[in-house]
């Protein structure tokens, strides 16, 4: 997917925290450590640095949510992270995002911490996020 396509899907999925722009995706994708996992209705963007992988964002079009696409993307992200040498994965998720938290925990991610007031919310408010972690093992 192009940065413009990524931004369009991201904009349909995120209001809190704010969606990322095509320019932000363009800048991220310039890094050799960044990788995409794509399906027609969504994508995951990851980064590997040494033994650690980070799921930067995952977005599935709202009309396609609840059909296992997010789960497929998490698994693709993990497979690519392992292929690139990662042995553990981290992610951050807004504490209000119950569906995403359920997905990640059902895929074996466990609480590693909390970032209080991490994201900018509406009208100057702040939103906290969970930091989740999972050991990755080659199959």
Q: Cα 63 from chain centroid?
A: 18
- pLDDT (0 to 100) of residue 70: 96
- pLDDT (0 to 100) of residue 120: 65
Higher-scoring residue by pLDDT: 130, 15: 130
- Single out the residue of 90, 73, 79, 86 nearest to residue 33, CA to CA: 86
Q: What is the pLDDT of residues 46-86, one digit of tens each?
A: 999 999 999 999 999 999 999 999 999 999 999 999 999 99
- pLDDT (0 to 100) of residue 110: 97
d(CA 23, CA 2): 11
104 belongs to the catalytic site: yes
> Which of 23, 54, 102, 104 is flagged as catalytic?
104
CATH class, domain 3-135, is alpha beta
Among residues of the chain, what percentage have pLDDT more than 90? 76
109: which residues sit within 8 A by CB, 6+ positions away?
A: 89, 91, 132, 133, 134
Please state the pTM of the whole predicted model: 0.90
- pLDDT (0 to 100) of residue 82: 96
> Which of 88, 92, 102, 139 is flagged as catalytic?
92
| Average pLDDT value for residue range 14-27 | 86
Higher-scoring residue by pLDDT: 121, 77: 77
92 belongs to the catalytic site: yes
- Helix locations, the chain, DSSP H: 3-13, 22-29, 69-83, 98-106
């Amino acid at each position: 997917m192009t940065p413009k396509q990524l931004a369009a899907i991201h904009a349909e999925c995120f209001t809190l925290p704010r969606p990322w722009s095509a320019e932000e995706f363009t800048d991220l994708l310039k890094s050799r450590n960044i990788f995409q996992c794509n399906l027609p209705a969504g994508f995951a963007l990851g980064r590997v640095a040494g033994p650690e992988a980070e799921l930067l964002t995952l977005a599935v079009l709202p009309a396609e949510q609840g059909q296992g696409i997010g789960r497929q993307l998490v698994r693709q992200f993990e497979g690519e992270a392992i292929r690139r040498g990662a042995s553990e994965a981290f992610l951050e998720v807004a504490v209000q995002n119950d569906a995403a938290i359920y997905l990640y925990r059902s895929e074996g991610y466990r609480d590693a911490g909390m970032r209080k007031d991490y994201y900018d919310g509406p009208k100057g408010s702040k939103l906290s996020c969970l930091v989740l972690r999972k050991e990755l093992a080659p199959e």
